[in-house]
Structure 1
């Protein structure tokens, strides 16, 4: 199949989406978007500027009062139309996601499908937006607490799930009466631009959705510090999140951050080993480990450690690394050489710290001479202080450690700067309930692999973020409260 790109949707290489139209960027610079599998050029986009960001924010601010004046159900109608268009273009979007991000085409279809599911959930939330009425302390008085939009939302997305993250920001922003400016990651802006065109085709009013590609430290930083952006929502690295948090502090600006993870995978002695192994492989190697919720360190009860690892390594060995457009491949390329080098450095450091290499699938085949390739690596460790047990890998390398008890596994799991996701495998309801109380993570998968639902709540503790996304609580995060003391006497 010939890969379609933004130009096939009538989007010029120097254009940004502002005020409901494709307009030329104020910058004449262009950024080539390269295919991670062979570094070939997929397309080029505008390297947006501060001036572009200003235009987008102005358009969003102008559009917001009229957009908010619509009923929530009217706003939801536009989101339903957009979701239908995303489904209609699922395969086109999947091919584009694979071309710009290196994701397996099957995984890209999931990304596009989750995009439409998140949009539909946001639309369905229109009938669940509610306030509160409380009795006043005085006679003939009520206290009304209403939930109202912030105004202009700036959404900054990561490179690993361009479609889903677009929907995760745009859906709840719009249904609650905000308008939005999206800055896609500079490595994967193509799908986001096409989603902007689908917004135009869905008939969104001018300025309700705006998209400005560009560098995070210029366009992104300007959106964060802009006097007319009222809420910042960002998905990305802890480093970038910290910089955004600091920038927003100057204006005491509300910030929502979904950052990195270092998910522990706990398997107890009474677990279904085959089920746990299957989930461990799936949860680790989806998108080659470039997922913030992925299985990133394993704590296995000593009584089942050898049995688990034998089966786990056998399944990892069966994974095929190669062209992400092939339906017979399980791991594609990394997004960039920088990510490859970071992973290689982390593995090298772990080996220096006496980690034991249990599996190294590194290939020097000529087929991998171009592109950004990293291969599955499994390590054994005996200390929780080894760097690979503490630092997010974001790639196909993982370490496992034997533990003597549930208590020890929980203690090691909680000994982390991260607190996004965790996994537990056991049939014991007592241990499951203890995990609810003792595992200090915002999201826990019990006896199942990873994968969020649109109506769940995706939130992290510690350096994994602030706020949260999805579900009722995610939607509520795009509204602020206004209190009215209504005396009708």
Structure 2
């Protein structure tokens, strides 16, 4: 059993949830889960093996036939009941997210709101599973196209939104008739285990939802390669996505990958500067900059660049940093490894010629002596190939470059391997109308900050991924199609 009320003062040792039961971790190799705000161990989880992965996939496969033939509305009722349990345990789940991931508690509460929205929306799709009847070329014949579940869906999730990413995949996969095996990142496994406990509490049949723990290159890869896995959906880095794509190739599995991003934030000379600054700050620093759709590089029209940057730097300086259980803007980075990666990008960018407009960087003194703290850093560059403007940063580092026109901004924005999100602030209707045609990204934010809608479609182009999540297109991706030629002659 997973106790949602555990605290960091009493570190728990937690097993895996497979085939409707919690495993006993006694005698197993363990991974310590730390609180990134103070580096204390808050729990220990099982370092899952390939055998553990196979056990989970096989349990999901055993349950898949009976789950798939249930009416979709019955599957949806259980998913909706899970959403209700999340609501009942809202505050406990938010505390778990903050303890394991480090985001401020207000943002963690928002993440749990998203869990409820994802699950509720998925349940509402139960009566939207549709097929087609197509006219045949032959007499006394029709063509029917149906949608069927894949069977076992393996969900691999990143550490930046551990609860929301799990629900985003789990809800539609189950309503579509698949069974599910979740493996969260080893830094943030507790949210997924908590969801498994709530699913157990509302009466999910054994094997329908399984939650295992471990490392991606061992248990994760074993599930991707397992012959009974029908589909893999993953959110994480581009590097990890490529490895999963290769691992799935031998068995030609359907793979959905939401990977890295390097979102351009374009501000034209006619933009509402105050609105653009507010959106840029939100899109850069929420969750300590650890969002794939973050404002990763700003292209500012030279006519407004100085005004924009003066206001942006002032706003960046005013952000509060501290105990994420309090009323602060920034918590710690998720781990020392991730913090140091960002620090290395700053150092490499300065060495390559970036100007420092706000020196933040690593915080290690006084109240920041323990934990993985960073203050906002703001850079200005004149070269589109400096690391901070070229490579995904995933931290509280903002970088800006001046441009002379909309077309120049578009060319610089498109000069990247990524294609997840892009921003544009302008009052020029021509630019707004052209943006979807010339910006090579799967998701555009025009005169607003980030935050996709559940009824939209969150998808990346290029190295930002394959497939997508949310809305009718995301839901449809959890089903495969079958064509029948019915001849009654």
- TM-score tier, shorter chain, comes to over 0.9
1:44 equivalent in structure 2: 44
Give the whole-Å Cα distance in 2 for the aligned partners of 1:58 and 1:247.
19
1:61 equivalent in structure 2: 61
User: Which one is further off, 88-97 or 24-33?
Assistant: 24-33
Give the whole-Å Cα distance in 2 for the aligned partners of 1:338 and 1:33.
14
Over residues 220-254 of structure 1, what are the superposed CA-to-partner deviations in whole Å (9 max), with x where a residue is unaligned?
A: 00000001001000000011101001111111111
User: Which one is further off, 443-452 or 355-364?
Assistant: 355-364
Q: Secondary structure at the match of 2:283?
A: helix
Over residues 283-319 of structure 1, what are the superposed CA-to-partner deviations in whole Å (9 max), with x where a residue is unaligned?
A: 1000010000010100000000000000111111100
Gaps of 5+ in 2: none
Q: Secondary structure at the match of 1:43?
A: strand
1:165 equivalent in structure 2: 165
- Is contact 2:283-2:450 (8 Å) kept? yes
Q: Secondary structure at the match of 1:374?
A: strand
1:336 equivalent in structure 2: 335
2:403 equivalent in structure 1: 403
* Alignment partner of 1:272 is 2:276: no
Task: Give the CA deviation at 1:6.
Answer: 5.9
- Is contact 2:264-2:299 (8 Å) kept? yes
Give the whole-Å Cα distance in 2 for the aligned partners of 1:170 and 1:147.
18
Q: Secondary structure at the match of 1:79?
A: helix
1:197 equivalent in structure 2: 197
Q: Secondary structure at the match of 2:375?
A: coil
2:139 equivalent in structure 1: 139
Over residues 249-296 of structure 1, what are the superposed CA-to-partner deviations in whole Å (9 max), with x where a residue is unaligned?
A: 111111100001100000000000000000000010000100000101
- Is contact 2:4-2:194 (8 Å) kept? no
2:360 equivalent in structure 1: 361
Alpha-carbon RMSD across the aligned residues, in angstroms, is 1.5
Matches within 5 A, 1:241-252: 241-252=241-252
User: Which one is further off, 18-27 or 351-360?
Assistant: 18-27
Give the whole-Å Cα distance in 2 for the aligned partners of 1:127 and 1:36.
42
Matches within 5 A, 1:122-271: 122-271=122-271
Give the whole-Å Cα distance in 2 for the aligned partners of 1:86 and 1:322.
27
Give the whole-Å Cα distance in 2 for the aligned partners of 1:25 and 1:486.
53
Give the whole-Å Cα distance in 2 for the aligned partners of 1:364 and 1:73.
53
- Is contact 1:221-1:247 (8 Å) kept? yes
- Is contact 2:12-2:42 (8 Å) kept? no
Task: Give the CA deviation at 1:169.
Answer: 1.2
Give the whole-Å Cα distance in 1 for the aligned partners of 2:65 and 2:270.
58
Give the whole-Å Cα distance in 1 for the aligned partners of 2:7 and 2:380.
48
Q: Secondary structure at the match of 1:445?
A: strand
* Alignment partner of 1:105 is 2:89: no
Give the whole-Å Cα distance in 2 for the aligned partners of 1:4 and 1:88.
12
Give the whole-Å Cα distance in 1 for the aligned partners of 2:269 and 2:128.
43
- Is contact 2:7-2:42 (8 Å) kept? no
2:295 equivalent in structure 1: 295
Over residues 395-442 of structure 1, what are the superposed CA-to-partner deviations in whole Å (9 max), with x where a residue is unaligned?
A: 001110000000000000000011000000011221011101000000
Q: Secondary structure at the match of 1:230?
A: strand
Over residues 55-74 of structure 1, what are the superposed CA-to-partner deviations in whole Å (9 max), with x where a residue is unaligned?
A: 11111001011101111111
Give the whole-Å Cα distance in 1 for the aligned partners of 2:357 and 2:106.
29
* Alignment partner of 1:351 is 2:350: yes
Give the whole-Å Cα distance in 1 for the aligned partners of 2:454 and 2:63.
27
Task: Give the CA deviation at 1:365.
Answer: 3.1
Task: Give the CA deviation at 1:26.
Answer: 8.8
Give the whole-Å Cα distance in 2 for the aligned partners of 1:130 and 1:6.
43
Task: Give the CA deviation at 1:364.
Answer: 4.7
Over residues 334-390 of structure 1, what are the superposed CA-to-partner deviations in whole Å (9 max), with x where a residue is unaligned?
A: 011111111111111111111000001344531111111111100000111111111
Shift in CA distance, 202/304, structure 1 to aligned 2, threshold 3 Å:
same
Give the whole-Å Cα distance in 2 for the aligned partners of 1:104 and 1:403.
35
1:87 equivalent in structure 2: 87
Q: Secondary structure at the match of 1:234?
A: strand
Over residues 22-71 of structure 1, what are the superposed CA-to-partner deviations in whole Å (9 max), with x where a residue is unaligned?
A: 12259711111100011011111111121111111111001011101111
1:374 equivalent in structure 2: 374
TM-score by length of 2: 0.97
Shift in CA distance, 292/471, structure 1 to aligned 2, threshold 3 Å:
same
- Is contact 2:364-2:373 (8 Å) kept? no
- Is contact 2:273-2:308 (8 Å) kept? yes
Q: Secondary structure at the match of 2:48?
A: coil
Q: Secondary structure at the match of 1:24?
A: coil
Matches within 5 A, 1:427-442: 427-442=427-442
Shift in CA distance, 4/212, structure 1 to aligned 2, threshold 3 Å:
closer
2:448 equivalent in structure 1: 448
